[in-house]
Copies of this chain bind each other. A is one copy, B any other.
Amino acid sequence: MTEMNKQWLLKSRPVGEPTPDNFELAESPVSEPAEGQFLVKVIYMSLDPYMRGRMNASKSYAVSAELGQPMTGSGVGVVVKSRHKGFAEGDYVMGMTNWQSYWLSDGTGVMKLDPARAPISTAVGVLGMPGLTAYVGLLDIGQPKEGETVVVAAASGAVGSVVGQVAKIKGARAVGIAGSKEKCDFVEKELGFDICLNYKDPDFVAKLHEACPKGIDVYFENVGGAVFEAVFPLMNDFARIPLCGRIANYNMTADPEGPNKLPAFFGDMLVKRMTLQGFIISDRYNRLPDFLRDMGAWVAAGEVKYKEDIVKGIEKAPEAFIGLLKGANFGKLLVQVSDDPTRK
- Nearest Cβ in chain B — how far from A32, in angstroms? 39
User: How many of chain A's residues have a CB under 8 angstroms from any CB in B?
Assistant: 41
Q: Is the Cβ of B263 less than 8 Å from the Cβ of A224?
A: yes
In whole Å, how far is A256's beta carbon from the nearest beta carbon of chain B? Answer: 5
Q: Does A272 count as interface, using CB distance less than 8 angstroms? A: yes
Task: Report B-chain residues with C-beta under 8 Å of the C-beta of A280.
Answer: 270, 273
A-B contact pairs, 19 of them (CB 8 A): A53-B271, A59-B271, A243-B270, A244-B270, A246-B263, A248-B263, A249-B266, A255-B259, A255-B263, A256-B259, A256-B260, A257-B258, A258-B260, A260-B261, A270-B278, A273-B279, A273-B280, A274-B278, A275-B278
Given contact pairs A257-B259, A261-B255, A267-B246, A275 touches B275 in the complex (Cβ within 8 A): yes
Q: What residues make up the interface of A, taking CB atoms closer than 8 Å to B?
A: 53, 59-61, 221, 224-225, 243-246, 248-249, 252, 254-267, 269-280, 283
Knowing A273-B61, A273-B280, A276-B275, the reply to whether A266 touches B243 (Cβ < 8 A) is yes
CA distance A59 to B233 in the complex (A): 13
Q: Which residues of B contact A255 (CB under 8 A)?
A: 258-261, 263-264
Residues of B within 8 A of A243 (CB): 266, 269-270
B residues less than 8 Å from A248 (CB atoms): 263
Q: Residue on B with the closest CB to A271?
A: B61
Task: Please state if B266 and A221 are interface contacts (CB–CB under 8 Å).
Answer: yes
A283: min CB distance to chain B, Å: 6
* Besides the known contacts A60-B271, A246-B270, 4 further A-B residue pairs in the complex with CB atoms under 8 A apart: A61-B271, A256-B263, A258-B259, A275-B277
The 9 closest A-B pairs by CB, nearest first: A258-B258, A255-B259, A270-B278, A269-B278, A275-B277, A261-B262, A276-B276, A249-B263, A273-B278
